[in-house]
Amino acid sequence: MPSAADSKPRSDARVVAPPGRRLCEVTGNRAAGGYRIFSAQDATGPEPRAGQFYMLASAEGWGGHSGRPYLPRAFAVAEAQASDKGVRLDFLVDDVGPGTERLAALRDGDGLWVTGPLGRPFSHPRELDPDIAGAILIGGGIGLATLAILRRELADRGVPVRTLLGFRDREHSGGVEELFGCCEVRLASEDGHVGHRGYVTELLTVLLEGDSARSAAVYACGPPAMLETVRALCTERDVRCELAMEAPMACGFGACMGCAVPLVSGGYMRLCTDGPVVDAAEIETALVPGSGH
C-alpha cells in the first residue's frame, strides 16, 4: 500500500450551492443532551453531501441596528432528508455566543436564511486508496454532527464503519441518540460520565494498533486539539485520514480570506472552498487560530 503522502489526490464530488441565499422555514427545534437540533425545510436547494456546510442567519433578530450577530454563522449539516417538498436540513447547535444563541432559540415557522451547501465533502474510502475497505469515524463534541450523514452514506454503500465519539463533560455532550441511535458507537468522556474516561483519541490509538489499521480510512471532526492528535497519529502510521476542520468564516465562499490554513507544501488553502474537509497529509497543523471547537 502506498504511504498516505504518496497516495493519489482526492476526488471532489461536491454539490454546488445555488447562487444567493434563500429563506427556509424552521420546522423543529429539540433538545439533544446539552445541545439542540433545529430543522429547516429547504424547498429549492439540492441535497448536500457529508462534510459540506451552510452559512446560516435567522430572518429575525440578526444584525440590523442591534449589532451582533451580524455575519452569518457556518454550520455543518447533521442530517438531510429529501422529499417532494424539498430537503429537510438538521443542524446540531452548541450555544456559545450571540449567533448560536439566536439559532438555538429558533421556533417552528421562523425564517432561516441559508447559503449552501458549501465546501468540499468527505471522500469515499476507495477514492482515497483502492485497498481501503473500511472507515473509522471519530468525533469530538459538536463535531459529531458532520459525521452522522457520512456514517449513513458509507453504510448505504456497504462500507464497514466503526464510530468513536468523545465529550468533555455531560453539559458539553449530546446528539448521540438522535444522530447515531441506529448503530453501535464507542464513547469516551473526559469526566467519565459516559464510556471510557479520557480522550476519544485514546480509543483511536487502540484501533490503530491493530494489524488491519491501514485497511481503514479515518474521518474526524472535533476541537482543534483533538484533530491535531488524530492528524499526528494517522500521519505517523501512514493511515489515510480526512479532517473536517473549522476556522473563522466571514463569507463561506472564498472572498474574505478569513479561513486560511497553512499547507505542508507551502502557501495556504481557504478552508471554506478547499475544505472544510482536508486531507490530513496536506496540512501542517490542525491547530487553527480562532476556531471555536
Closer to ligand FES by CB, 56 or 251: give it: 251
For residue 274, state whether it binds ligand FAD (rule: CB under 6 A): no
Q: Cell numbers at residue 9, please? A: 489526490
CB of 247 to ligand FES, least distance (A): 7
- In whole angstroms, what is the distance from residue 70 CA to residue 63 CA? 4
Segment contacting ligand FAD (CB under 6 A): 1-9, 105-113, 191-199, 243-251?
243-251
The string of DSSP letters for 156-211 reads HTT--EEEEEEESSSTT---HHHHHTTS--EEEETTSSSSEES-HHHHHHHHHHST
Answer for which of 62, 75, 113, 167 binds ligand FAD (CB under 6 A) is 75
Report the first-to-last Cα separation within the chain, whole angstroms: 34
Residue 252 binding partner per list ligand FAD, ligand FES, none, with a CB distance cut-off of 5 to 8 Å that depends on partner kind: ligand FES
DSSP, res 66: G
Answer for which of 26, 200, 272, 278 binds ligand FES (CB under 6 A) is 272
Q: Cβ(56)–Cβ(113) under 8 Å?
A: yes
Answer for which of 194, 256, 263, 264 binds ligand FES (CB under 6 A) is 256
For residue 258, state whether it binds ligand FES (rule: CB under 6 A): yes
For residue 50, state whether it binds ligand FES (rule: CB under 6 A): no
Rg (CA), the chain: 18
Closer to ligand FES by CB, 52 or 189: give it: 52
Is the Cα torsion angle 189, 55, 83, 26 positive or negative in sign?
Answer: positive
Answer for which of 276, 281, 283, 288 binds ligand FAD (CB under 6 A) is 276
- In whole angstroms, what is the distance from residue 44 CA to residue 188 CA? 39
For residue 257, state whether it binds ligand FES (rule: CB under 6 A): yes
For the window 62-101, what string marks contact with ligand FES as x by the rule CB under 6 A? ----------------------------------------
For the window 246-265, what string marks contact with ligand FAD as x by the rule CB under 6 A? xx-x----------------
Q: Cell numbers at residue 89, please? A: 436540513
Q: Cβ(155)–Cβ(137) under 8 Å?
A: no
CB of 246 to ligand FES, least distance (A): 11
For the window 143-182, what string marks contact with ligand FAD as x by the rule CB under 6 A? --x-------------------------------------
| Burial degree of 254 (CB within 10 A; 0-12, 13-18, 19+) | middle
Closer to ligand FES by CB, 129 or 246: give it: 246
Tell me the pairing of strands 35-42 and 86-93. Answer: antiparallel
Contact positions vs ligand FES (CB under 6 A): 249-252, 254-259, 270, 272
